[in-house]
Amino acid sequence: MYLAERSWMTEEHEVLRDTVEKFIVAQITPYYEEWEAAGIVPREVWEKLGSCGLLSPDIPERYGGAGGSFTHLAVILNEFARHGYAVFAGSMLGVHSGIANHYILNHGSKEQKQRYLPSMASGETVTAIAMTEPAAGSDLQGVQTVAEREGNGYIINGAKTFISNGQNCDTVIVVAKTDRSVAGSRGISLLMVDANSDGFTRGRNLEKIGLHCADTSELFFDNVRVEGDALLGTEHGGFSVLMNELPRERLTLAIGSLGAIEGALNWTVEYIRERQAFGQALSSFQNTRFKVAEMMTEARALRSFIDDCIASLSVGALDSATASMAKLKSTEAQGEIVDSCLQLFGGYGYMREFPISRAFVDARVQRIYGGTSEIMKEIIARDLLGR
């Protein structure tokens, strides 16, 4: 059951959705619990995703992608989330396919595009974005990782944490301060660092309350040297790159949230139709019926908003404030609706064998990463009211 067919869906999108579902059934579902226990998705899964064309759907064919639009990526993210695999919709594909490859496509040199994008599409290269630090999260003004000029290159020193794809990554887009003489977000640059570089090390695969098989890591840079061609975009212009790409990042998170809501409602409707209490199906009780009606209405309205955002982004017209609204509303709704769905499962909702329990813990981080709900409110307020 889908909340509604998207206004932009075509037969091509339907075929893609079917491809994703078949991939999930064959390549994800039989192994997911094993990966959750291990705390990581095996590296070879990336290449399987690539071989099915699921890693770069909206990257031009000349760089190894499928040549589609953002709507194709939206179908993929929604389907993984709807089936309860938030790790794929968010930290894996959300970072690699939704964000990193567009940093390179939109701001990279010709050589960088040719070097990285085809292997990212095939799954041969997995990317991570090293932004967050122990003392700098949503506020990039606190970045302490530095990249100092040496000859025609840079020497990078610093530490990052909470980095998605940190254990599996082959290349890291590092946010670093290249001009310490200026304050705040000025003087920040983005640098491409290959994981086999001297001085680059991975720390722990961090344990989380949810998204257990997402490899979320500490990364360390100890006198890591990169050449000048590692600079992504302009020197000291990294903050502008980050800001330009934030609408895409926040919308990918919103799409994942909406897909997770859709999946949770599907499981809940199926369960309450079958579960008996006091000699009748749970679905016959007024409280249950009204609660489901409320949740479905909320989700259906949210679908219309997100679809409008998807259409806007596809033509380059989605602004930062609207994307922040989408992220704020969808992630907050996800937390509320999934919690209500779990309540309708009763004690079984608290058991790990039921997917609603995983959906509950996986949902919590959605209001944190990609910019907290509080940061989203500030961005929206600044757009409406000024500083």
Residues 261 and 366 in one domain: yes
Please indicate, yes or no, if residue 207 is contained in any of the structural domains. Answer: yes
The answer on pLDDT for 373 being more than 80 is: yes
Average pLDDT over residues 361-382: 95
Q: If you average pLDDT over residues 209-217, what whole number do you get?
A: 96
Specify the CATH number for the domain of residue 77: 1.10.540.10
Domain co-membership, 291 together with 379: yes
Domain tally, the chain: 3
Cβ pair 356, 350 in contact under 8 A:
no
Residue 186 has pLDDT above 90, yes or no: no
- Looking at the structure, tell me whether residues 380 and 243 fall in a common domain: yes
How far is 349 from 87, CA to CA, in rounded Å? Answer: 20
Q: What is the pLDDT of residue 5?
A: 67
- Do 118 and 166 belong together in one domain? no
- Among the listed residues 79, 133, 249, 262, the single catalytic one is 249
- The helix (run of H) or strand (run of E) holding residue 328 is helix 320-345
* Same structural domain, 335 and 286: yes
pTM of the model: 0.94
Question: Token digits for 377?
Answer: 């409110």
* Per-residue pLDDT at 41 exceeds 80: yes
Give yes or no: residues 153 and 172 share one domain.
yes
**68 and 25 within one domain:** yes
**pLDDT confidence of 1, banded at 50, 70, 90?**
low
Domain with residue 214: its CATH number is 2.40.110.10
- Percentage of residues in the chain having pLDDT higher than 70: 98
Q: Is 249 a catalytic residue?
A: yes
Asked whether residue 327 falls in the same domain as residue 379, the answer is yes
| pLDDT at position 140 | 73
258 pLDDT above the threshold of 90? yes
Amino acid, res. 343: Q
DSSP structural state of residue 136: B
pLDDT at position 63: 97
The 3-state DSSP class for residue 273 equals helix
Residue 216 counted as domain residue: yes
Whether 300 is in a domain gets the answer: yes
Which residue, 76, 99, 126, sits at the end of a domain? Answer: 126
CA pair distance 293, 78, nearest whole angstrom? 22
- What are 155-178's pLDDT values in tens digits? 999 999 999 999 999 999 999 999
Tell me, yes or no, whether 257 and 304 share the same domain.
Answer: yes
Residue 103 lies in a domain: yes
Position 387 confidence tier, pLDDT thresholds 50, 70, 90: confident
Based on the fold, state whether residues 254 and 343 are members of the same structural domain.
yes
Q: Which domain holds residue 183?
A: 128-236
329-354, pLDDT tens digit by residue? 999 999 999 999 999 999 999 999 99
Burial-class residue 365 by CB neighbours within 10 Å (0-12, 13-18, 19+): buried
Domain membership of residue 1 (yes or no) is: no
Rounded mean pLDDT of 130-147? 84
Q: Is residue 4 part of a domain?
A: no
pLDDT at 183: 78
Task: Give the three-state DSSP class for 165.
Answer: coil
Task: Provide the mean pLDDT of the chain.
Answer: 94
338 and 258 assigned to the same domain:
yes
pLDDT digits (tens, 9 = 90+) for 266-277: 999 999 999 988
Across 132-136, 140-144, 259-263, which has the greatest mean pLDDT?
Answer: 259-263
Q: Are residues 106 and 204 in the same domain?
A: no
Whole-Å CA distances, 93 to 56, 228, 272: 9, 28, 32
3-class DSSP assignment, residue 315: coil
The enclosing domain of 322 has a CATH number of: 1.20.140.10
What pLDDT is attached to residue 4?
Answer: 58
pLDDT at residue number 3:
62
Structural domain ending residue among the three candidates 71, 95, 126: 126
> CA 328, CA 146: separation in Å to the nearest integer?
32
16 assigned to some structural domain: yes
Mean pLDDT value across residues 128-140:
84
Final residue belonging to a domain, choices 126, 150, 176: 126
- Per residue in 75-113, pLDDT tens? 999 999 999 999 999 889 999 999 999 999 999 999 999
Two tokens, residue 76:
């993929």
Q: Could you read off the pLDDT of 2-16 as tens digits, one per residue?
A: 665 677 889 999 999
